[in-house]
Amino acid sequence: MSVMRYAEALRLAMTEEMERDDRVFICGEEVGQYQGTFRVTEGLLERFGARRVVDTPISETGISGLATGSAMAGLRPIAEFMTWSFALEAMDVLVNHAAKITYMSGGRVKCPAVFRGPAGTGNQLSAQHSQSLEAWYAHIPGFKIAMPATPEDAKGLLKTAIRDDSPVIFMEHAGLYAQRGEVPDDPEFTVPFGLAAIRRTGSDVTLISYSHMVGSCLKAAEVLEKEGVSCEVIDLRTIVPLDTEAITASIRHTHRAVVAQEEWKSVSIVSELASLIYELCFDDLDAPVERVGGPMTPMPYAKNLERAAIPNEKNVIEAIRKVLA
């Protein structure tokens, strides 16, 4: 085990996989000479050379094509979006090509590409930059989606993503890059997809989230512990595949659930989780599921408005109180 930042854990995952497998390479804007906009790819150009760490023009469609096509031809590319917002420029390649080529070809061609980069809200980046669209990708069959909440998972999930034969949407959270934590040194350490982590056990209510929001759930759980409320906190780690067993097992036990995410609330991951929970646990539920999500407004710039627009532990606490009422 070593203590390192989330961003370093990602770098370690890529370094190890690039050492292990010559087919793995990285491409994206400023990933090389500039050392990465968020330093995630720092030092990799020097280590692996320009063949395997490819600085690109500001051409998200081209970048996605580079990754998708090279994956179809047998490489294992990692394409970095400077932020996931810019993937909006590449939706056709992602959705109509990367996600579907395996199916359209009857499995004759695969697309083992990882698309990664920072997502999430915050930092007054305002409407065009501050958003993450995991709900979109989860609506599209063909993608797997990982959203790590800890440095350990950042490493373990990214390694699994690189080794997976499907296109993986890998969403990091800019607000987590500096977070420190223990990370296994073992180069064979991976975190399997579809296996949620119980971050805290509890008996009164199940809090289900992923990525940055897991921290808010844990904080909420701590606050409510003082009031004698025992919260179980589930970190989904991957949205697709989804660990429905972990969810149902917990709710069978707590009979109450709060589902929380940072993103827009309507037609979202929490919508799916809530309706799924009803379908799977209708008789176990003692109260309606509470959804925590962002308000249906673009992200405003002003600090006070932004604060009001990003769900935090207070919103989770409110939701818990509601399901317990």
Partner 1 sequence: MTKPAVETNQKELVSKEEMLSLYRLMLLIRRFEESTYRKYREGKIGGYLHRYDGQEALVAGIIPQLRKDDYILCTYRDHAHALACGTDPRHVMAELMGRATGCAYGKGGSMHLIDPDNGFYGGDGIVGGPVPIALGVGYAIKYRGGDQVCVCYFGDGAFNQGGVHESLNMSALYGIPVLFILENNKYAMGTRVERSTHQSDFLLKARAYGIEAERMDGMDVLEIRSRTQSIISNMRRESKPYFIEMNAYRFLGHGVADNPQQQKFYRSESEIEEWKNRDPIHLLGRKLEKMGWLDDSEKEQIEESVKLDVEEAISYAERSPEPAIEALYEHVYG
Decide: is 139 part of the binding site for its own copies (CB under 8 A).
yes
CA 293 to chain centre: 16
Catalytic member of 16, 29, 97, 129: 129
The DSSP result for 253-317, as a single string, is HH--EEEEEEEESTTSHHHHHHHHHHHHHGGG-SSPPEEEEE-SSPPPSSHHHHHHHS--HHHHH
Shortest reach from residue 50's CB to partner 1, in Å: 9
Q: Which of 31, 25, 103 is nearest to 71 (CA)?
A: 25
Among 136, 170, 177, 210, binds its own copies (CB under 8 A): 136
Decide: is 104 part of the binding site for its own copies (CB under 8 A).
yes
Decide: is 82 part of the binding site for ligand TPP (CB under 6 A).
yes
Decide: is 95 part of the binding site for its own copies (CB under 8 A).
yes
Give the span between the Cα atoms of 117 and 25, in whole angstroms.
Answer: 15
Tokens 């119980």 belong to residue: 198
Chain positions 145 to 174 lying near partner 1, rule: CB under 8 A, are 164-167
Give the span between the Cα atoms of 310 and 171, in whole angstroms.
Answer: 18
Catalytic member of 29, 60, 152, 232: 60
Q: Which residues pair with 258 in a beta bridge?
A: 207, 290
The DSSP result for 153-166, as a single string, is HHHHHHHHHHH-SS
Shortest reach from residue 109's CB to partner 1, in Å: 6
Q: Under a CB-based contact definition with an 8 Å cutoff, are residues 6 and 181 in contact? A: yes
Shortest reach from residue 185's CB to partner 1, in Å: 29
Build a one-symbol-per-residue string for 31-70: x at contacts with ligand TPP by CB under 6 A, - elsewhere: ---------------------------x-x----------
Decide: is 59 part of the binding site for its own copies (CB under 8 A).
no
Active site residue 60: yes
Active site residue 253: no
Decide: is 260 part of the binding site for its own copies (CB under 8 A).
no
Decide: is 272 part of the binding site for its own copies (CB under 8 A).
yes
Give the span between the Cα atoms of 112 and 71, in whole angstroms.
Answer: 5
Decide: is 73 part of the binding site for partner 1 (CB under 8 A).
yes
- Tokens representing 41 are 């790819």
Decide: is 80 part of the binding site for ligand TPP (CB under 6 A).
no
Residues that bind ligand TPP (CB under 6 A): 29, 58, 60, 82, 86, 89
Q: Which of the residues are catalytic?
A: 60, 129
